[in-house]
Chain A
Amino acid sequence: MKADVLIVGGGLMGCATAIELARKGKSVTVFEKDVPGRHASGNNSGGVRCQGRDLREIPFAVESRKMWDLHPKTVSSDCGFYVSPRLRLAENDAEMEVLVKRQEKLNSLGYTHEVVVDLNEVRRLSPNVADHVVGGLVCYTDGLANPMLTSKAYAAAAGREGVQILTRTRVVEVQTMSWGFKLRTADGKVYEGETLINATGAWSGRFSEMLGDPLPVFSAAPTMMVTDRMADMMNGTSLGLTGRLLGLMAAQNGTIIVGGGYRSPHDLEKEKIWIDPMQMTKASKIMIEVLPGLKDAQMIRCWAAFEGCLADKVPIVGSSKQVPGLFHVCGFSAHGFQLAPIMGRVMSQIVLGQQPDFPLDDFRPDRFEQKVK
């Protein structure tokens, strides 16, 4: 079986890339060992956030945000997206200083999406924050979406564009040929294609080894929790902190999705995560300090999913220097959901040999080697 492009991984990165390539006339096959949305893409916290992004990601995030508004046209679903301004709180003057500097830096680069706000505006946006808060930095256009709905919408859109998505199909062997690649799947079938894309999320480190182009992507299990309905508490504004680990997302149904860098022990081989509830005791303490009314809230459930991470916390997006015809799009380090639309576009551009909308130098797969040298 043959296709122009073989994509391994049916998460958002794989599907977004597949959609764009198919629209540009390529025949594409996506291999997914489970089903689209089973891992990071369908089980993340749904944050569509430009706020607080690494400077290297900002041009991508700003463009991607525009693409989130176009989803009803591009993937025939709004993906459950709605706006919930993301307000990063300063809990003391030193933190306020950090936020002011951040805005100055962004302004100097020509970006205006993050705005420093005073206590009045903080209280207007989030009336229940604790008295010690001194100010904040807000991105009014940030929002939230439904990850499972988004993953399914992307997979369905890819299907409509003629992409062949092979679910429950694990790629177990890759052979590099003069003309491209030969893939073997767990059921023994062989597929051929000129171009190969590694979009295997948390499995990218392992998968890249199989390809002879090892990447320093490691797996992690970001851990979240969701509360019962607390609509009055959040006032529709999502919150982050400057000096401590915490992200509170105001879901439309009134529940609060809590994250902020908590991780659980896991075993990628066995696909088992041991959710560490003591992480949530820390989160709870901070939550009650920041929004005292949350003492009445309940933790309804925790969850975690596998994600591919890199030490410098920005992804790998680009062509392999070792293996011609191989491209990587992975290592989104727990913030790739928002970036999926733009990543699909730039990936399709580089695969087709076009100039990407934004330079990808900061995301080069070989950036780590150079550091070592």
Chain B
Amino acid sequence: MKTKYDAIVVGAGPAGLACSAELTAKGLDVALVDEQSSPGGQIYRNITRATVNRHNILGSDYSEGLQVVKEFTEGGGTYLPRTRVWQAEATGDVYFSRDGYSGALHGEYIVLTTGAMERPVPFPGWTLPGVMTCGGMSNLFKDSGLVPKQPVVICGSGPLVWLVAEHLLALDAPITAILDTTPISQITAAMKHVGGALKRFDYMMKGIKMIAGVEAKARKKKVPLHRNISHLEAIGTDRVERVSCKKGARTLSFEASTLLVSEGIIPNTSLLRQVGVKHTWNPVQRFWHPDVTLEGRTNLDSVFVAGDGSFVHGAKSAEYKGRLTGLTIARELHRLSDQQFAEQSAPVKEKLKRELLPRPFIDALYAPAKKLYALADDTIVCRCESITAGRIREFIAEGYVDHNEIKAIIRCGMGPCQGRMCSSAVFELIAEGSGLAPETIRQHRLRPPIKPVSLQELANAKVGENDES
């Protein structure tokens, strides 16, 4: 297997595909690596193999992705599916596992387009089988066409909630409730950004139409739709059986064998943090995101970041960011003159700017609710190690303000997910308990491997031994 490339791109979503396509178009040698078995990332998951029926349900926002997949495929860049990257270094070394062995690739540049993930928000019962994220449901459908055939509740805040509700209504899934957790107060807060958003009237109308469509269809099908919901709880032994929540002082309860949750999307920064990219705290969306320029540059000369991994802006923006990053690297490698770069990047920048117009409005409207992390002491925060909020608070009360230190003692964040599921919540618990400004709190550190590697895979390593010890 060839191991040296001009650029290694990690993540075959819209950003990674567009970036790789730009690079190969400039005659550069690119390897696009992804743990999935076909290109598309999360948003265009399984796009090349999904049935016509699925394309119909998912609509043009999904099918449009075929274009960028085609562009990459026809460009002839090397595509390495089912390859999980578990460590990257600013030296350009990228370590991976596939087919039962581990190995290393080297790129003059590495581009991390690892996308976004659902913001993990603990609530009582969230570890029960049957509780899944809305994004997860969407992936399941894209992969296989599976649809819930028993009572399903959809609960959360943000566009994904409405999108999944729209699809499941169209598929006649037995929805028992749609629960919107967006606090009413945030609508007023968001209104101050509406001016910018209205410059993309088309986009806003699409959103409004989608929500109105879900409301109308829910009414017709007698599916209860509640707003201003809080205190979500999944109840059951061995799997979810009921869902309860509060609407003001009232407690609501619904039958459910599947509960789909979503509290927004955050950048998936594991690999970025491991490689040493600098991050900044965003006080509105309350997440850490890498410090990245429009052109994908980070604090590390050889490491570029593009797509939702840099900041969650959606599929189209991800593609534009990927293109700009590709053009930038092509210029660095002297495949484009400054003039050519300016000419080719200007229209992409223009499109990206237009795409970003409604974001401040959406970010404010769907900011995480103030009480999102007001967790009861007995709620499990770290799924891998079954560690509760109360246990973590004991340490914070003793003066611990560093997730890394708490982890070293009680193992929250030490399991196979490497803190992906708990670090947002632990961070909020520390901010709440210590009163420290979030940006001054030390972030959870990621050590390689960012995903577990079997010893057999390591032992079967297909790279030259490093004999110095």
Complex contact flag A–B (Cβ < 8 Å): yes
Interface of A toward B, CB cutoff 8 Å: 35, 37, 42-43, 80, 146-149, 152, 226-228, 245, 253, 261-263, 272, 274-282, 284-285, 287-288, 294-303
Asked if B314 CB lies within 8 Å of chain A CBs, one says no
Q: Find chain A residues with CB under 8 A from B455 CB.
A: 227, 284, 287-288, 294-299
Q: How far is the CB of A212 from chain B (nearest CB, A)?
A: 34
Report the Cα distance A272→B405, complex, angstroms. Answer: 18
Asked if B62 CB lies within 8 Å of chain A CBs, one says no
Q: Find chain B residues with CB under 8 A from A300 CB.
A: 414-416, 418, 449, 452
Main secondary structure of the interface of B (DSSP, over half): loop
Asked if B441 CB lies within 8 Å of chain A CBs, one says no
Q: Please state if A281 and B102 are interface contacts (CB–CB under 8 Å).
A: yes
Taking each of B276, B405, B408, which has the highest tally of chain A beta carbons within 10 Å of its own beta carbon?
B408
Of A146, A298, A302, which one neighbours B416 at CB under 8 angstroms? Answer: A298
Q: Find chain B residues with CB under 8 A from A227 CB.
A: 455
A80's closest neighbor in chain B, by CB?
A: B409
Asked if B301 CB lies within 8 Å of chain A CBs, one says no
Q: Find chain B residues with CB under 8 A from A281 CB.
A: 102, 458-459, 461, 463, 465
Main secondary structure of the interface of A (DSSP, over half): mixed
Q: Given A37-B405, A281-B461 in contact, is the A301-B449 Cβ separation under 8 Å? A: yes
Q: List 7 A-B contacts (CB under 8 A).
A: A148-B408, A245-B469, A277-B95, A278-B461, A284-B459, A299-B452, A299-B458
Q: Digitize B393-432: 1 where CB-to-A-CB distance is under 8 Å, 0 elsewhere.
A: 0000000001001001101001110100000000000000
Number of residues in B with C-beta < 8 Å to the partner? 31
A147's closest neighbor in chain B, by CB?
A: B408
Q: Please state if B465 and A282 are interface contacts (CB–CB under 8 Å).
A: yes
Which residues of B32-85 have CB atoms within 8 Å of chain A's CB atoms?
none
Q: Find chain B residues with CB under 8 A from A43 CB.
A: 408
Report the Cα distance A72→B91, complex, angstroms. Answer: 46
Q: Please state if A299 and B453 are interface contacts (CB–CB under 8 Å).
A: yes
Q: Given A297-B454, A298-B452, A298-B455 in contact, is the A278-B465 Cβ separation under 8 Å? A: yes
Q: Please state if B411 and A253 are interface contacts (CB–CB under 8 Å).
A: yes
Asked if B351 CB lies within 8 Å of chain A CBs, one says no
Q: Please state if B452 and A288 are interface contacts (CB–CB under 8 Å).
A: no
Q: How far is the CB of A17 from chain B (nearest CB, A)?
A: 22
Q: Find chain B residues with CB under 8 A from A147 CB.
A: 408
Which residues of B434-469 have CB atoms within 8 Å of chain A's CB atoms?
447-449, 452-456, 458-459, 461, 463, 465-466, 469
Report the Cα distance A134→B418, complex, angstroms. Answer: 38
Of A42, A261, A297, which one neighbours B405 at CB under 8 angstroms? Answer: A42
Q: Find chain A residues with CB under 8 A from B408 CB.
A: 42-43, 146-149
Q: How far is the CB of A287 from chain B (nearest CB, A)?
A: 6
